[in-house]
Amino acid sequence: MNTPQKTTGFLQGQKIYNISKEPPLFFIMMRLNVKVALLFLLSIGVLTIVVLYSVCGNSSSDWQRLKYNNIKNRAFDLQEVEEIECDINEEYTIMFYGKSVTYDGLERFEWSHSYSKVHPPKARYDPRGVFMYFENYNVEVRERVKCVSATDGVPISTQWESQGYYYPTQIAQFGLSHYSKNLTEPEPSRKTVENAEYDLAKWLVPATAKVERYFDKQVGSNVLKFATSENYSDGIRLKMDHVLYFVMSVHIVLSGNSSFSVTLQNRETAEIYNLHYITSDIWITVQDKNIYHGISSTQEWKRITRDLIIDLQKGLNYLDKDKSKHKITRSKLKIINITLRGSGAIDNLTLSSSEHIQQFYDAAEWFVKHQDAETGGWPIPVKRKLAFAFHDLQPGWYSSMGQGHAISVLSRAYHHSGGDTRYLTAALNGLKPFRISSSDGGVLATFLNKYHWYEEYPTKPASFVLNGFIYSLLGLYDLMVIAPPGQAQEAEFLFSEGMASLKNMLMLFDMGSTTAYDLRHFTVGIAPNLARWDYHATHINQLLLLSTIENDSLFKQTAERWIGYMNGKRAEHN
Residue type, 443: V
Nearest to 463 by CA among 514, 397, 407: 397
Q: How far is the CB of 141 from its own copies (least distance, A)?
A: 22
Q: Is 497 helix (H, G, I), strand (E, B) or coil?
A: helix
**Sole window of 85-93, 143-151, 182-190, 327-335 interacting with its own copies (rule: CB under 8 A):** 85-93
- Of 85 and 230, which has the nearer Cβ to its own copies? 85
| Binding flag, residue 461, its own copies (CB under 8 A) | no
Q: Which of 137, 136, 135, 159 is nearest to 146 (CA)?
A: 159
**CB of residue 104 to its own copies, shortest distance in Å:** 12
Q: CB of residue 109 vs its own copies: minimum separation in angstroms? A: 5
Which one among 531, 537, 544, 559 touches its own copies, defined by CB under 8 A?
A: 531
* C-alpha to C-alpha distance for 23 and 31, rounded to whole angstroms: 11
The nearest distance, CB 573 to its own copies, in angstroms, is 4
* Among candidate residues 519, 513, 470, 512, the one with its CA nearest the CA of residue 495: 470
What whole-number distance in Å separates Cα of residue 468 and Cα of residue 456? 5
Among 15, 113, 213, 422, binds its own copies (CB under 8 A): 113
By CB under 8 A, is residue 75 in contact with its own copies? no
Listed ranges 210-218, 336-344, 454-462, 527-535: which one lies at the site for its own copies (CB under 8 A) = 527-535
Stretch that binds its own copies, among 110-118, 288-296, 329-337, 340-348 (CB under 8 A): 110-118
In three-state secondary structure terms, 61 is coil
89 is a contact residue toward its own copies (CB under 8 A)? yes
Backbone angles phi, psi at 409, to 5 degrees: -65, -50
Query: Contacts with its own copies in 543-562 (CB under 8 A)?
Result: 554, 558, 561
User: Which has the closest alpha carbon to 316: 306, 329, 304, 303?
Assistant: 329
Binding its own copies (rule: CB under 8 A), the pick from 31, 35, 108, 325 is: 108
Return the number of the residue (51 or 571) whose C-beta is nearest its own copies: 571
DSSP 244: S
Tell whether the torsion through CA atoms of 15, 20, 21 and 25 is positive or negative: negative
* Angle at the Cα of 184 from the Cα atoms of 178 and 189, rounded to 5 degrees: 80
Q: Which of 360, 361, 378, 517 binds its own copies (CB under 8 A)?
A: 517
> Whole-angstrom Cα distance, residue 185 to residue 345?
32
Look at residues 213, 297, 283 and name the one whose alpha carbon lies nearest to residue 253. Answer: 297
Provide the mask over 397-436, with x wherever binding to its own copies is found by CB under 8 A and - wherever it is not: ----------------------------------------
> Does residue 300 bind its own copies (CB under 8 A)?
no
Run of H or E including 476: helix 466-482
Judged by the rule CB under 8 A, the positions of this chain that interact with its own copies are: 84-93, 101, 106, 108-113, 447-450, 503, 505-508, 510-514, 516-517, 521-522, 525-532, 535, 554, 558, 561, 567-574
